[in-house]
A and B are shown apart, each in its own frame.
Chain A
Amino acid sequence: MSIKQRVIEIIAEQAVLDPKDITMDSTLEDLGIDSLGLVESIFAIEESFDIEVPFNANAPTEGEFDISTIASIVAGIEKLMAEQKA
């Protein structure tokens, strides 16, 4: 499964939506994911890809990990995997 597919699966489960309803441009807010849902999604991402995501719930939009869209999350994961598995 590609990173993109797995991320969509994680987010779909969190948002209680069909993966088909999630696009690369979707934002977590569009999908109705709140702050607790976001923390749980980050946890699922870390577990799935065996990476550490720099994320602080006090400043979710200010960290290096861009959570603005599904596309930015996928790009962030690719970068972290390259860095942390190097």
Chain B
Amino acid sequence: MKRVVITGAGSINALGHTVPETLAAMREGRCGICELDIPDVDRLAIKIGGQVRNYEPEDRFNRQQLALYDRFTQFTLIAAREAIAQSGLKFSGELAARAGVVLGNSGGGMTTLDENYRTVYEDGKNRVHPFVVPKLMNNAAASHVSMEFNLKGPSFTVSTACASSNHAMAQAFQIVHGGASPVMIAGGSESMLCFGGVKAWEGLRVMSKDGCRPFSANRNGMVQGEGAGIFVFEELEHAKKRGAEVLAEVGGFAMSSDAADIVMPSKNGASRAIAGAMRDAKINPSDVGYINAHGTGTAANDKTESAAVADVFGAHADKLMISSTKSMHGHLIGGTGAVELLACIMAVKDGVIAPTIGYEEADPECALDVVPNEARETVVDVALSNAFAFGGLNAVLALKKFKD
């Protein structure tokens, strides 16, 4: 089997418009969550989110492109441009024929849906723009990445709610690991911070009105974010031959299904995914120094996740660090695992652990080292990234510090 390394990373999210901006914010423990700036926000009970700020689509895309790119596609392309530029790869000939793109996404073009429902229901019009369907379909982002970069190999979109990006990156890993392609573009994106998107989440009564405080005893729910994270997964020998800089090695992954409840998490399902990822990556639990938690800030997730980590790691659970960066960028739903993988890369590559900000009060049911409020510097060889979705679908990735 081939070793798989990451040779490029790109992102845009509430913390910044690039990876360096995002990582700087994570180091500083800066919060990207603030008052939402969207139409009809006065009719929402939840008025905060991790919205991408100071963003003008017209600065990045021309009129023809914007007619076809929903906000989630725009974010995906911006992140993909950064990641592929960093990798230095150009796709032509045999490489183009084999390389593909696998992305995670949950809601598709929610902003497009929202705007066009307004057109037909609120404004009473009987005609919509001709590109509504190609703009809102979940696979639009993956398809536009394939077109912009000439990727002609296996390409598709994975949709498993909050685990979409982790499932997508696992698929891309497997394609490179198994030798089907030397390079895959992987990650995910989401943009549902529109009236309908937030209103739908509001209905479930699990959102916080005032902030995301994962693992803190006074947490009161999740806060939505938006954006994208995109990576270049490359076969090690291929990367070495062209002298590419390696950011980290993807060691392995595991997936599991709770087969239990459509919204409540399961300790057993989470434990099986965490243990499975370590087995797949051939690492001992004691080698794991950092876990980027799913850490949504809901009552149910954080205590279940803490119990799962305690179960899997035993005594080592008290030695490892686990943080939820959702406290800073919000929950990007289908794109969240991709942006959170950046924190894992920063841990193994730079030895910086992103904090869980907003941490105010210890919760005996979440008695782990959650790296409260301030980043920490230390050496980490292995980092895990957890994602546990509604529907009970779990996916955990294992990243290793790159050693040739």
Contacts and interface: CB of A to CB of B under 8 A. Distances in A.
Query: Are both chains from one complex?
Result: yes
A55 B204 CA distance: 10
A58 B219 contact: yes
B203 A43 contact: yes
Interface string B273-305: 000000000000000000000000011100000
Interface string B260-283: 001110000000000000000000
A35 B264 contact: yes
B85 to A, nearest CB: 41
Contacts of B300: 58
Contacts of A36: 262-263
A57 B219 contact: no
Nearest to A42: B205
B392 to A, nearest CB: 14
Contacts, number: 30
B221 interface: yes
A39 B208 CA distance: 15
A58 B204 contact: no
Q: Helix, strand, loop or mixed for chain B's interface?
A: loop
Contacts of A55: 205
Interface string A47-62: 0000010011111000
B203 A58 contact: no
Nearest to B296: A58
Given A58-B298, A58-B299, A39 B205 contact: yes
A39 B264 CA distance: 13
Contact of A59 (B45, B203, B299): B299
Question: How would you classify the secondary structure of chain A's contact residues: helix, strand, loop or mixed?
Answer: loop
Contacts of B221: 56-58
Interface residues of B, number: 15
Contact of A39 (B45, B204, B219): B204
B206 A58 contact: yes
A2 B245 CA distance: 72
Contact of A56 (B203, B220, B262): B220
Nearest to B302: A58
A27 B221 CA distance: 25
A57 B206 contact: yes
A24 B263 CA distance: 30
Nearest to B205: A57
Nearest to B203: A43
A5 B243 CA distance: 75
Contacts of B262: 36
- Quick one: which of B208, B219, B220 has the most chain A CB within 10 A? B220
Nearest to B264: A35
Interface centre among A39, A42, A52, A58 (most CB of B within 10 A): A58
A82 B300 CA distance: 33
B263 A59 contact: no
B43 to A, nearest CB: 12
B205 A56 contact: yes
Contacts of A59: 220, 299
23 contacts: A35-B263, A36-B262, A36-B263, A39-B204, A39-B205, A42-B205, A52-B45, A55-B205, A56-B205, A56-B206, A56-B208, A56-B221, A57-B204, A57-B205, A57-B206, A57-B221, A57-B299, A58-B206, A58-B220, A58-B221, A58-B298, A58-B299, A59-B220
Given A36-B262, A57-B204, A59-B220, 8 more contacts: A35-B264, A52-B45, A56-B221, A57-B206, A58-B219, A58-B220, A58-B298, A58-B300
Interface of A: 35-36, 39, 42-43, 52, 55-59
